[in-house]
Amino acid sequence: MKKVLIPTKLDGVSAAILQDKGFNVIQDADTSLETLAAQHADTEVIIVRSEKVTAEIIDSLPQLKLVVRAGAGYNTIDIKYARKNNVDVMNTPGANSNAVAEEVVAMMLAGARHIVKADISTRAGLWEKAKFMGTEITNKTIGIIGLGNIGRLVAKRLEGFEMTVLGYDPFISASLAENMNIKLASVEEIFAQCDYISLHIPENDETRGMVNKKLFESMKDGAAIVNCARHGVINEDDLRAVKATKDIKYLNDVYQKDAAGEKSITDCADLMLPHLGASTKEANFNAAKRAADQTVAYFEEGVTNCVVNKAVPEGMNPEFQKLAYALSSLARNYLGNRVQPQKIEASFYGQLNDFGKWLIAPITAGITKEVDPYVEANDALEFLNERGIEFIEREADPNKSYKASITIDLFEGSAETINKVSVRGTITEGNLMISRINKFDKLYLEPTGTTLFVEYNDAPGVMGKITSILGRNNINIVDLRAPQDLESHKSLAVIKTNVDISGEIVQEIKETVNATAAFVFNY
């Protein structure tokens, strides 16, 4: 009888389903996971909500086979260490989406009509009707940053308020957005034009602190930000400074740490909730039921479609997943991070021809941080399909006689104005190697550290101008390549540097040499 440990206040449906299937379930929300793990060393499954599953927890459970996160995010679980110890980690994506979307609407209405403050005032015996004059959200404009499951549900739930909906998501095609009555816009346009801005983006190196002083200052007087995403995407110091001089509102449900105690955002938040986004009976039930159903299917039928840290099959070098990620990420940067890709075509040569499905998720993860590189191919394909992005695995041409290598082509635009970036790479002596970008062949670049790419019309002296700007900014050159495309008369400066290069310096280089493309790639 397999033992399942549930160290959290999860709906009882999970335990009921598992017990009915013969599992031995221990559910205890009052005892720490560390203590429970020590008491039940024979545990094979853990089902958690926000509890941390660390390397120490995994080490203390030698029979552990599966960790299930009853929810979407799994940053509290050490998935790499779990994989190293042959422990699969699952999540239950989508179970909480409607709960969060409804909370956004509730917070918008509460902020617009002063619901919380008016309740406190009236309970105190006051009658401050004039003080709590509100606004209506009907016919206003909302901007949704991130059009995943939750972002799209927010748009749908607001349809009855006849709001104009702007959306930003680099992985939603214009046609798909139009079908949802969403007008695509840049982040800057959304902050400048909208009465409400709802954030639905993950926190990572690209998004951390992205909502900053410049965006706050561009907001309309009286406009409000709703943050049910992640604490770190907001620059609190900038918000505090701008709110001191400008009438903008901040409605917040996320924090650096989910625990009692003082919150750093208290002085500049107009509404604060204790991370209630997923806290509905329905969401808890959905997450609990899915966690149990997936656990049963995992052991009885071998279903692993929600495993987020998959191992690679025997005979495949896992480094090729890293290569696939690096190639697609580079192609994404070359195409432009704010451009919506519409199609991905990939060719897998040599022995990789048998392992294509194991490379689809890393390729998808390379163009968006919303997808983990270890999810199943079907989950990655579903993500792309929902955003109107076509994925085509081309039949590898055996006449090219390539050894194990990958070619990825990324497309955007219409048939008349199609833009394409093509990259190819392999692994040489254990190192990832980018061999070609578009028609710039024989590049042989190892994608490590910081690399500056500048594409320009071939002319004497251009490379000197680029290196001069770098030198003036105390940036040392570690490696330099300058392949040419003789057909288009273009050159590509590929310069590895000892430090990162700011956007301002990249823009200066682009303008100085009239570059057709200029960007920094960090890997």
Kindly report the backbone phi and psi dihedral angles of residue 164, in degrees, each rounded to the nearest multiple of 5, phi listed first. -80, 130
3-94+282-301 with 97-272: one CATH topology? Answer: yes
Rounded to the nearest 5°, which phi and psi values hold at 293? -60, -40
Q: Is the pLDDT of residue 223 over 60?
A: yes
What homologous superfamily does CATH list for 3-94+282-301?
Answer: NAD(P)-binding Rossmann-like Domain (3.40.50.720)
pLDDT at residue 341 tops 90? no
Q: May I ask the CATH class of domain 97-272?
A: alpha beta
| More confidently predicted of 204 and 354 | 354
Of 405 and 258, the structure prediction assigns the larger pLDDT to 405
Q: Give the DSSP H or E segment for 180.
A: none
Contact yes or no for 367/361 (Cβ under 8 A): no
Which token pair is 89?
Answer: 């980690």
**Domain 313-447 sits in which CATH superfamily?**
D-3-phosphoglycerate dehydrogenase; domain 3 (3.30.1330.90)
Residue type for position 224: A
Residue 197 near residue 223, CB atoms below 8 Å: yes
Query: Are 266 and 272 contacting, i.e. CB atoms less than 8 angstroms apart?
Result: yes
Which band of pLDDT confidence, cut at 50, 70 and 90, is reported for residue 415?
A: low
What is the residue-averaged pLDDT of the chain? Answer: 92
Residue type, 218: S
Mean pLDDT on 406-416? 82
Q: What is the DSSP string of 424-475?
A: EEEEETTEEEEEEETTB----B---SEEEEEEEE--TTHHHHHHHHHHHTT-
CA angle 259–265–267, rounded 5-degree value = 125
Instruction: Give CA–CA dist 36/300, Å, rounded.
Output: 26
DSSP codes, 320-375: HHHHHHHHHHHHHHHH-TTS---EEEEEEEGGGGG-THHHHHHHHHHH-TTS-TTS
| CA max distance for the chain | 85
Question: For position 417, what pLDDT does the model report?
Answer: 58
Whether 331 and 519 have beta carbons less than 8 Å apart is answered as: no
Least confident of 80-84, 111-115, 374-378: 374-378
User: Residue 300: pLDDT above 80?
Assistant: yes
| Tokens standing for residue 477 | 């050159």
What percent of the chain has a predicted confidence (pLDDT) above 70? Answer: 99
**Does residue 198 surpass a pLDDT of 60?**
yes
Show the tokens assigned to 339.
Answer: 């451009």
Give me the mean pLDDT over the 231-244 stretch: 96
- Is 412:332 a contact under the CB 8 Å cutoff? no
Give φ, ψ of 291 to 5 degrees. -60, -45
Which of the pair, 450 or 375, is modelled with greater confidence?
450
* pTM (predicted TM-score): 0.76
The count of C-alpha atoms lying within 13 angstroms of the C-alpha of 11, restricted to the half-sphere facing its C-beta, is 21
Topology of the domain covering 449-523: Alpha-Beta Plaits (3.30.70)
Count, residues in the chain: 523
Picking from 68, 76, 73, the residue whose alpha carbon sits closest to that of residue 15 is 68
Model confidence band, residue 351 (pLDDT cutoffs 50, 70, 90): confident
In angstroms, rounded to a whole number, what is the distance separating the alpha carbons of residues 441 and 443? 5
Q: Which residues of 26-35 are buried (b: 16+ CB within 10 A; e: fewer)?
A: ebeeeeebee
Q: Which of 29-38, 100-109, 165-174, 424-433 has the lowest mean pLDDT?
A: 165-174
Domain spans, the chain = 3-94+282-301, 97-272, 313-447, 449-523
Closest among 477, 454, 212 to 333, alpha carbons compared = 454
Least confident of 83-97, 180-194, 340-354, 391-405: 391-405
